[in-house]
């Protein structure tokens, strides 16, 4: 396997190793309708930026950060350009039941505030550490921990789960 001067693997190797992670995260963040488009857009952005990378460290985290930002762009594009009083509520469908066997949990996750929803999804679906979540959300690791903690507390309350 040939690599570049910076130690980066060929882009196809990156795709082969991480396409499932990108697809899964895109679908979790953008839903079944837009998930494939978000994943495709993430790969396009990654391909365009890849030659400029100077390090092969944390390539998976880098890809998932791009994916999260592409999903954010989709959600922003969905929002009507009206005042809050005029805008109808935005409903984001979750993944198919076959992909996520607990529809009650997905419904509770989709009801979380956007940043909490993204943080908990990046942490548990994307399997990112708090530094990766923070990078994806353009915040600090401490704020990432707080977002995930608040999301989990809300989910526990919503689903009636005890901490015991």
DSSP assignment of the chain equals: ----TTSPPPHHHHHHHHHHHHHHHHHHHHHHHHHHHHHHHHHHHHHHHGGG----TTHHHHHHHHHHHHHHHHHHHHS-SS-TTTPPPP------TTT-S-HHHHHHHHTS-HHHHHHHHHHHTS---HHHHHHHHTS-HHHHHHHHHHHHHHHHHHHT----
Distance from C-alpha of 131 to C-alpha of 144, rounded to nearest angstrom: 8
pLDDT digit string (tens) for the chain, length 164 residues: 444 456 889 999 999 999 999 999 999 888 888 899 999 999 999 999 999 998 888 899 999 999 999 988 887 777 655 444 554 444 445 445 445 567 788 788 888 998 898 899 888 888 888 888 888 888 898 999 999 999 999 988 988 887 65
Using CA atoms, how far apart are residues 142 and 9, in angstroms rounded to an integer? 32
Would you list the domain boundaries of the chain? 11-159
- The residues near 7 (Cβ < 8 Å, ≥ 6 apart) are 55, 56
pTM of the model: 0.59
CATH code assigned to 11-159: 1.20.140.160
Whole-number pLDDT of residue 81: 52
């Amino acid at each position: 396997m040939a690599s570049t001067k910076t130690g980066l693997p060929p882009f196809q190797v990156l795709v082969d190793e991480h396409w499932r992670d990108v697809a899964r995260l895109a679908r979790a963040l953008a839903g079944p309708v837009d998930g494939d488009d978000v994943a495709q857009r993430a790969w396009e952005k990654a391909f365009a930026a890849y030659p400029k990378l100077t390090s092969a460290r944390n390539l998976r985290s880098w890809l998932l950060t791009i994916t999260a930002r592409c999903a954010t762009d989709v959600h922003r594009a969905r929002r009507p350009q009206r005042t809050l009083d005029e805008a109808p509520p935005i409903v984001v469908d979750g993944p198919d039941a076959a992909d996520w066997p607990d529809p009650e949990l997905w419904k509770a996750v989709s009801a979380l505030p956007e940043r909490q929803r993204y943080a908990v999804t990046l942490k548990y679906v994307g399997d990112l550490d708090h530094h990766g979540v923070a990078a994806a959300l353009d915040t600090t690791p401490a704020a990432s921990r707080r977002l995930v903690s608040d999301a989990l507390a809300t989910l526990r309350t919503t689903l009636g789960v005890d901490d015991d």
